[in-house]
C-alpha cells in the first residue's frame, strides 16, 4: 500500500491508499522539528486503530511546501517503512506536465500536484481553488499545462491578522452569517460579514477576471477544508474535490512506478 504525505504550512496530511482508493487519512499540525520517531509512534497507533500495520506500507510519496519538514519524513520512510520516499518534483518523480510559467522551480508542489489530479479528473480548461493557509487559484489548460495563478491570504490567516492588529476585536469562528444581510449590527457580525462575504466577493471577482482572460469555457474545481462551506454560498464552483492533492500524489506514484 502507498502512504501519501502532503506537508503543508499548517497541517501534514497522511493518506493510506490501495491503488487509487483512499482507505483512510489523518492530519497533524505541521512542525518541522517533529522527528521521524514521533511521526512513527503516532502513525503506528492510528494504523492499528484502522486495522492496518506499518508493514502494510511498501511505498511512500511526499509533496511538501515546508522544506525543513522533508528530512524527518524521509527518515520516517527509511527507518520505519523500509523504503525510500519519493518526493514530488524531484527525480525520479518528474511532474509529467508543462509548467508554463516564468519561474517553474518556484511553483509549490501542492499546486502542481493539484493541477495533475484536476486535469486527470476533469476535461477542458480549469481553475483550481485550494483553501489552505493561503488560498490559491491555479489555471490548468485543456492540454494539462500549468499556466500560473494567484496566491491570496487564507481566510483564517486574514482573520488572525485582523484580530492581532485590532485590540478590541474579538476572535470569531468562520461560519456563514445567519442571514444574507451585509450590514452588521454587532461588532462580531460586522467582522463575520467582512471576512466571509468579503472572501466570497474576492473569489467571485477573481474567477470572473481569470475566465475572461482565459477566453474559453472554464470549470472551477475547489479543494481544501473550507471548500464545502463556500460552495453553499456561491455558485462559482463546478465541482468539489476534497482529496485532490492526495489523488495527484497517487497518480505521480503510478507514473514513476511505471517508468522506474
| Residues with a known catalytic role | 110
Residue indicated by cell numbers 470549470: 219
Residue indicated by cell numbers 456563514: 176
The alpha carbon dihedral of 56, 60, 66, 67 has a sign of: positive
Closest residue by Cα to residue 15 from 46, 55, 36? 46
Contact between 85 and 62 under an 8 Å Cβ cutoff? The reply is: yes
Q: Please provide residue 169's backbone torsions phi and psi, each rounded to the nearest 5 degrees.
A: -85, 135
> How far is Cα 93 from Cα 252, in angstroms, rounded to an integer?
7
Task: Write the CA distances from 185 to 31, 155, 178, integer angstroms.
Answer: 40, 22, 12
Helices (H), 50-143: 67-80, 109-121
> Cα 161 vs. chain centroid, distance in angstroms?
21
> How far is Cα 52 from Cα 204, in angstroms, rounded to an integer?
43
Amino acid at each position: 500500500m502507498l502512504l501519501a504525505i502532503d506537508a503543508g504550512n499548517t497541517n501534514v496530511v497522511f493518506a493510506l491508499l490501495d491503488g487509487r482508493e483512499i482507505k483512510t487519512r489523518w492530519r497533524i499540525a505541521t512542525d518541522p522539528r517533529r522527528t521521524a520517531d514521533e511521526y512513527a509512534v503516532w502513525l503506528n497507533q492510528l494504523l492499528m486503530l484502522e486495522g492496518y500495520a506499518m508493514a502494510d506500507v511498501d511505498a511512500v510519496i511526499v509533496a511538501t511546501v515546508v522544506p525543513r519538514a522533508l528530512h524527518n519524513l524521509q527518515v520516517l520512510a527509511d527507518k520505519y517503512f523500509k523504503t525510500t520516499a519519493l518526493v514530488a518534483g524531484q527525480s525520479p518523480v518528474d511532474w509529467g506536465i508543462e509548467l508554463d510559467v516564468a519561474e517553474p522551480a518556484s511553483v509549490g508542489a501542492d499546486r502542481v500536484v493539484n493541477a495533475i489530479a484536476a486535469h486527470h479528473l476533469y476535461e477542458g480548461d480549469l481553475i483550481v481553488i485550494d483553501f489552505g493557509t493561503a488560498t490559491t487559484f491555479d489555471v490548468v489548460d485543456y492540454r494539462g499545462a500549468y499556466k500560473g495563478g494567484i496566491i491570496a491570504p487564507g481566510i483564517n490567516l486574514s482573520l488572525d491578522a485582523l484580530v492581532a492588529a485590532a485590540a478590541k476585536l474579538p476572535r470569531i469562528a468562520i461560519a456563514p452569517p445567519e442571514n444574507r444581510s451585509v450590514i452588521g449590527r454587532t461588532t462580531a457580525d460586522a467582522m463575520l460579514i467582512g471576512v466571509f462575504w468579503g472572501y466570497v466577493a474576492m473569489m467571485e471577482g477573481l474567477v470572473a477576471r481569470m475566465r475572461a482572460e482565459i477566453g474559453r469555457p472554464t470549470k472551477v474545481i475547489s479543494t481544501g477544508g473550507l471548500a464545502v462551506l463556500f460552495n453553499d454560498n456561491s455558485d462559482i464552483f463546478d465541482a468539489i474535490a476534497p482529496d485532490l492533492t492526495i489523488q495527484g500524489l497517487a497518480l505521480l506514484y503510478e507514473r514513476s512506478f511505471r517508468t522506474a
